[in-house]
Amino acid sequence: MTDAVDPPKARRPNTRLEEVARAAGVSKSTVSRVINGEPYVSSRAREAVHQAIGKLGYSPNQAARTLAGSRANCIALVVSEQGSRVLADPFFAGVLRGVHAELAGKRVQLVLMMSKEGDEQDLVNYLCGGHVDGVLVISLHGQDPLPRTLADAGLPTVVGGRPLGAGGVPYVDSDNFNGAMEAARYLVSRGRKRIATIAGPRDMAVGMDRLSGWKRGLSQARLDTDLVAYGDFTPESGAVAMADLLKRAPDLDAVFVGADIMALGALQTLHAHGKRVPDDVAVVGFDDLMIASTAVPPLTTIRQDVEQLGRTMTWRLMAELAGEENLPPFLLLPTAMVTRSSA
Partner DNA sequence: CCAAAACCTGGGAGCGCTCCCAGAACGTTC
Partner DNA sequence: GAACGTTCTGGGAGCGCTCCCAGGTTTTGG
Where in 53-82 is the site for DNA (CB under 7 A)?
A: 58, 60-61, 64-65, 67-71
| 10 binding DNA? (CB under 7 A) | no
| Cα distance between residue 80 and residue 87, in whole Å | 10
User: Cβ closer to a second copy: 83 or 170?
Assistant: 83
Site string for a second copy, 289-318 (x = CB under 8 A): -xx--x-x----------x-----------
Task: List the one residue from 3, 8, 11, 40 that touches DNA (CB under 7 A).
Answer: 40
CB of 299 to a second copy, least distance (A): 12
CB of 99 to DNA, least distance (A): 24
| Cα distance between residue 174 and residue 205, in whole Å | 11
| 44 binding DNA? (CB under 7 A) | yes
CB of 288 to a second copy, least distance (A): 13
Residue 126 interface partner, choices DNA, a second copy, none, CB cut-off 5-8 Å depending on type:
a second copy
Q: Max CA-CA distance within the chain?
A: 96
Considering only the stretches 11-19, 30-38, 193-201, 222-230, report the one whose residues sit in contact with a second copy under the rule CB under 8 A.
11-19
CB of 120 to DNA, least distance (A): 21
Q: Where are the beta strands (DSSP E) in 45-121?
A: 74-80, 109-115
User: Cβ closer to DNA: 34 or 266?
Assistant: 34
Alpha helix (H) residue ranges in 190-273? 205-220, 235-248, 260-272
Q: Where are the beta strands (DSSP E) in the chain?
A: 74-80, 109-115, 134-138, 157-160, 171-174, 195-199, 228-230, 254-257, 282-287, 300-303, 330-333, 336-338
Query: Three-class SS of residue 65?
Result: helix
Look at residues 331, 330, 319 and name the one whose alpha carbon lies nearest to residue 156. 319
DSSP 242: H
Residue 89 interface partner, choices DNA, a second copy, none, CB cut-off 5-8 Å depending on type:
a second copy
